[in-house]
Amino acid sequence: MVEVTVTPQSSLADRPVQIRVRGLSPSQLVTLRAWLKDEQGERFQSRAFFRADGAGEVDPGLHAALGGSYSGVWPMGLLWFLQPDTLFRRLVKRDVAGSPFRVRLEVLDGLSLGADPKEQLLASCEAERWYVGPGVQRVPVREGRVRGALFLPP
């Protein structure tokens, strides 16, 4: 049985996570796809193609992506290379304290380039990427023409 995991499953957006796929056949070609919807419902996604090692595992921190949104060894590449489905959109988090981005990670059999209905989903999981840690206080700043926010640790 194929399994994809993100460790830790819930983390701050600037912290690294480890993505791992287990249960593949040795040397199996797979596509790892990450996607999320922003607060306006716009979809952002990335994908990378991998060949499983002899144990049937894929670790983007150890194994080089063969192509897709990036190539080479990028442990966080699936999260760093998210691109909008609609041109000229930017990934922006407005409600930084109230909710995380929920990133869906999927493992697809073979090399998947699009949203083909024949894609075979082997495994999936979800990760939370928070922008403000627990107990952090947000204080609005308005001084003259300066506008911003001060984030105070607990």
The pLDDT tens digits of the residues spanning 118-128 come to 679 999 999 99
Tens digit of each residue's pLDDT (9 = 90 or more) over 70-98:
999 999 999 999 999 999 999 999 888 88
What length is written for the chain?
A: 154
- Within 95-152, strands assigned E span 101-109, 121-130, 137-143, 146-152
Task: Report the pLDDT value the prediction gives residue 114, as an integer from 0 to 100.
Answer: 72
Supply the pLDDT for residue 113: 82
Each residue of 28-46: b (16+ CB within 10 Å) or e? bbbbbbbbbebeeeeebbb
Strand partners, 3: 22
Q: What is the pTM of this model?
A: 0.88
Percentage with pLDDT > 70 across the chain: 97
- pLDDT at 101 > cutoff 80: yes
pLDDT value at 116 more than 70: no
Q: What domains can be seen in the chain, in order of their start residue?
A: 3-152 (2.60.40.2240)
